[in-house]
């Protein structure tokens, strides 16, 4: 275990009642020359300042301590529902200094504010919504409807936003999973609730011009910090971190302007059902203009780990794909997969292949084992199925542009179960930021049934 | 409730559940690491460590490569160090099946049955 993780793994082992012995070489190990690795081994453990090899040999031979013979689990204490009464100034400071926020101004979750937020659902405050943690193996932290309401208050949400935030919590997926690779996340809302709570799915949907988009996306990260127990450098080990963590690209799909079925319908939900879908990846890789051919060309230039590609496309791009002959998103995705092959040599040159695909190949797992035997110039399709490509229609028909992300869809959860039976609980005068100015007479953009100027076929 | 400038606010932190995540099995879809519903979890019990060896002389030590990039090269160098400094120790480098996120009970069973005296797993992170 490299020294960077020393405190984390030792605390984790104690928490699990498994007092393992560790030796810690310096870090990093990845990418280091043999000479450097040899220096690591022959040098000192930077945590104990003792020779690393002495740590290793003693770990195997020195007698067990009583604690190692009879380990106990270090349990975290359950927390009181309320914090000690204090002044607003002191409490605000406490939240910031304890690392319970994202560093931006927030709303203190007083009992009154949380009670008001709870009017946004019929579910009981004490109902457990889920468990979350930002690493895969640590103790999961449990949270109730009331805890989620406190987070929603902190994010600046109103009760009308609460059902979407509860559905996000029900995914049990943190927006900030811990990885040195620095994950980013994305979330998209489908169904009637988008319009009922005033989400922006059109022009500038991914920019900070919409209250619902902003506070819902933010709430996901505030719950990840507090439910996922995220602590930078302690258990959140992202080398760079990720700016998307602030808001997680929260927006709605532009179902009204899309010629294709909405994303949630692709995933088996009813069109009239409201659903939140979450994605995980790293980067927005580029923006592009053009047809499926250009989309295939762009993703064929990425080595990567063969993860999914999610295109966020303006509605004009969807219309263009339709006129090119793709009746469904899946048709387009299938064509893109089949036409984005890369030379096997290019694929195996990727550093990340060493950790995943190369191991699979060694173990005989297909298709990696077969790919490893191919000549360097043999074409392979790292994204093997149309399911490895997602198309989300977002934007305001300003231009037929798309952005490419390496995001994988991980889960879609229905929002409807969290909506009160009496309907979404709006404020008497709902808060709305100015709506983006759009084409006033509906004549802008490519007509829905324009003939294709450049039909795409398999021969292309 | 605000009394004399004082506020009562809720604690926003999650409650410990006593439920821990565990490694995926070797046959898991690599993408299962993305999905908390596919990751095994449950309550855990304390586990004491195996007795230590009196000495490494003549012993067989498995060097288990976990899957993080650079681990294999690191363990090869460690193997060389044992060869130079503990020539009586027999070292065997083995790759854990699956990825760094998966368990490999088959390998643990094989090590026990093949007379392994000790194991070093690395490198994490």
Question: Would you state the pLDDT for residue A419?
Answer: 98
Position B7 scores a pLDDT of 95
Residue A5, pLDDT > 90, answer no
Beta strands in A21-118 (DSSP E): 86-87
Task: Supply the pLDDT for residue A459.
Answer: 37
Residue of B nearest to A55 (CA): B120
For chain A, what is the total number of helices (H) and then of strands (E)?
Answer: 17, 13
- CB of A460 closer than 8 Å to CB of A291: no
Mean local confidence (pLDDT), B102-122: 92
Residues facing residue A405 across a β-bridge: A284, A310
Residues A91-117: tens digit of each pLDDT: 999 999 999 999 999 999 999 999 999
- Per-residue pLDDT band for A304 (boundaries 50, 70, 90) equals low
Q: Which residues numbered 23-62 in B keep a CB inside 8 Å of some CB on A?
A: 23, 30-31, 33-37, 39, 41, 44-49, 51-56, 61
- Is the predicted pLDDT of residue A306 greater than 70, yes or no? no
pLDDT of res. A181: 86
Determine the residue of chain B that is closest to A411 in CA distance. Answer: B35
Residue A354 to residues A236, A361, B73, Cα–Cα distance (Å): 24, 10, 12
The percent of residues above 70 in pLDDT, for chain A, comes to 93
* pLDDT the model gives residue B3: 60
pLDDT beyond 90 at A153: yes
Q: Which residues of A touch B6 (CB under 8 A)?
A: 85-87
Better-scored residue on pLDDT, A458 or A381: A381
What pLDDT is recorded for position A460? 42
Q: How confident is the model at residue A276 (pLDDT cuts 50, 70, 90)?
A: very high
Write out chain A residues lying below 8 Å of B125, CB-based: 1-2, 4-5, 27-29, 180, 237
Q: Which residues of B touch A109 (CB under 8 A)?
A: 9-10, 12
ipTM here:
0.88
**Could you tell me if A132 and A225 are in contact, meaning their C-beta atoms sit under 8 angstroms apart?**
no
DSSP assignment of A250-264: -EE--TTT-SS--HH
Q: Is B93 an interface residue toward A (CB < 8 Å)?
A: no
**% of chain A with per-residue pLDDT over 90:** 66
Whether residue B2 is predicted with pLDDT greater than 70 in this model: the reply is no
- pLDDT for the residue B45: 84
Q: Coil, helix or strand for B6? A: strand
Q: Comparing B98 with A123, which gets the higher pLDDT?
A: A123
Higher pLDDT, A454 or A431: A431
C-alpha distance from A379 to closest chain B C-alpha (Å): 23
Pairing of strands A128-132, B41-42: unpaired
* Per-residue pLDDT tens digits for B59-103: 999 999 988 888 999 999 999 999 999 999 999 999 988 778 888
Name the average pLDDT for chain A. 90
Q: Given this model, what pLDDT does residue B1 score?
A: 56
pLDDT at B70: 87
| Confidence check: pLDDT of A341 > 70 | yes
* CA dist., res. A278 & res. A31, Å (int): 32
Tokens of A163: 């059902």
For residue range A223-271, list pLDDT tens digits in order. 999 999 999 988 898 999 999 999 999 999 999 999 999 999 999 999 9
Q: Is the pLDDT of residue A453 over 50?
A: no
Q: Is A327 a residue whose pLDDT tops 50?
A: yes
Chain A positions touching B15 (Cβ under 8 A) are: 78-79, 141-143, 147
Task: Tell me whether residues B123 and A29 touch, CB distance under 8 A.
Answer: yes
- 8 A C-beta contact, residue A149 and residue A244: no
The residue with greater pLDDT, A97 or A457, is A97
* Lowest-pLDDT range of A8-17, A194-203, B49-58: A8-17
Query: For residue A443, is pLDDT > 80?
Result: no
Between A211 and A137, the higher pLDDT residue: A211
Minimal C-alpha gap between A297 and chain B (Å): 25
Q: Measured between CA atoms, how close is A460 to chain B, in angstroms? A: 32
Note the pLDDT of residue B24. Answer: 82
Query: How does the average pLDDT of chain B come out, rounded?
Result: 88
Q: Please tell me the pTM assigned to this model.
A: 0.89
Report d(CA A354, CA B65) in Å as an integer. Answer: 13
Residues of B in contact with A142 (CB under 8 A): 14-17, 19
Q: Which of A30, A72, A106, A186 to mutate to test the interface with B (most CBs of B within 10 A)?
A: A30
Lowest mean pLDDT of A79-83, A163-167, A298-302, A330-334, name the range. Answer: A298-302
Residue with tokens 């990340």: A352
Question: What average pLDDT does range A191-212 have in this prediction?
Answer: 97
Do B125 and A77 count as a contact with CB atoms less than 8 A apart?
no
Q: φ and ψ at A388, to 5 degrees?
A: -85, -5
Q: Report the gap between the CA of A220 and the closest CA in chain B (Å).
A: 13
Among B11, B86, B98, select the one facing A83 at the smallest CB separation.
B11
Q: How far is Cα A453 from Cα A320, in angstroms, rounded to an integer?
A: 9
What band does A381 get if pLDDT is binned at 50, 70 and 90?
A: confident
Region of poorest pLDDT, from A182-196, A283-297, B22-36: B22-36
Strands of A345-400 (E only): list them.
379-380, 389-393
Contact call for B12 and A173, based on CB within 8 A: no
What pLDDT, on a 0 to 100 scale, did the predictor assign at position A251? 98
Residues of A with Cβ-Cβ distance to B69 under 8 angstroms: 29-31, 351-352, 354-355
């Amino acid at each position: 275990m490299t020294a960077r993780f020393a405190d984390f793994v030792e605390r984790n082992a104690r928490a699990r009642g498994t007092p393992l012995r560790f030796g810690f070489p310096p870090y990093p190990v990845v990418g280091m020359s043999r000479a450097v690795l040899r220096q690591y081994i022959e040098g000192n453990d930077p945590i104990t300042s003792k020779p690393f090899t002495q740590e290793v040999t003693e770990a195997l031979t020195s007698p067990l301590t009583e604690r190692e013979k009879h380990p106990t689990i270090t349990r975290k204490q359950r927390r009181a529902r309320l914090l000690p009464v204090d002044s607003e100034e002191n409490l605000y400071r406490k939240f910031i200094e304890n690392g319970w926020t994202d560093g931006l101004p927030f709303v203190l979750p007083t009992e009154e504010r949380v009670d008001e937020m709870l009017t946004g659902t019929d579910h009981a405050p004490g109902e457990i919504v889920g468990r979350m943690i930002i690493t895969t193996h640590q103790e999961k932290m449990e949270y109730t409807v009331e805890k989620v309401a406190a987070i929603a208050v902190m994010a600046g949400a109103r009760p009308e936003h609460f059902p979407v935030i509860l559905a996000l919590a029900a995914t049990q997926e943190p927006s900030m999973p811990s990885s040195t690779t620095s994950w980013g996340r994305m979330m998209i809302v489908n169904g009637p609730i988008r319009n009922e709570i005033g989400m922006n799915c059109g022009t500038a949907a991914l920019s900070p011009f919409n209250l619902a988009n902003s506070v819902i996306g933010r709430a996901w990260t505030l719950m990840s910090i507090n439910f996922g127990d995220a602590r930078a450098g302690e258990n959140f080990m992202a080398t760079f971190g990720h700016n998307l963590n602030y808001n997680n690209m929260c927006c709605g799909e532009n179902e009204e302007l899309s010629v294709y079925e909405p994303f949630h319908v692709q995933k088996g939900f009813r069109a009239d059902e409201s659903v939140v879908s979450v994605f995980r990846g790293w980067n927005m890789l580029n923006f592009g203009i053009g047809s499926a051919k250009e989309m295939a060309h762009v993703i064929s230039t990425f080595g990567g780990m063969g993860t999914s590609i999610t295109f966020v496309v303006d509605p004009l791009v969807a219309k263009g794909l339709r006129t090119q002959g793709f009746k469904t998103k899946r048709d387009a995705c299938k064509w893109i997969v089949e036409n984005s092959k890369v030379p096997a040599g290019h694929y195996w040159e990727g550093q990340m292949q060493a950790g995943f695909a190369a191991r699979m190949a060694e173990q005989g797992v297909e298709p990696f084992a077969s790919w490893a035997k191919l000549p360097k110039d043999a074409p392979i399709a790292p994204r093997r199925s149309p399911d490895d490509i997602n198309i989300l229609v977002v934007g305001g028909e300003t231009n037929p542009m798309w952005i490419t992300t390496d995001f994988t869809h991980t889960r879609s959860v229905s929002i409807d179960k969290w909506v009160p039976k009496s309907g979404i609980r709006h404020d008497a005068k709902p808060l709305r930021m100015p709506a983006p100015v759009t084409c006033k007479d509906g004549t802008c953009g490519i007509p829905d049934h324009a003939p294709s100027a450049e039909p795409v076929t398999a021969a292309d | 409730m605000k009394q004399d400038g004082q506020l009562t606010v809720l604690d926003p932190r999650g409650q410990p559940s006593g439920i821990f995540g565990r490694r995926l099995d070797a046959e898991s879809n690599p993408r299962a690491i993305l999905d908390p519903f596919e990751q095994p979890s449950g309550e855990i019990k304390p586990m004491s460590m195996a007795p230590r060896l009196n000495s490494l002389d003549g012993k067989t030590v498995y060097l288990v490569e976990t899957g993080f990039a650079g681990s294999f090269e690191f363990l090869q160098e460690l193997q060389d160090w044992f060869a130079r400094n503990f020539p009586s120790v027999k070292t065997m480098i083995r790759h854990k099946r699956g990825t760094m996120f998966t368990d490999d009970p088959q390998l643990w069973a094989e090590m026990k049955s093949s007379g392994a005296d000790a194991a070093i797993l690395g490198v994490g992170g």
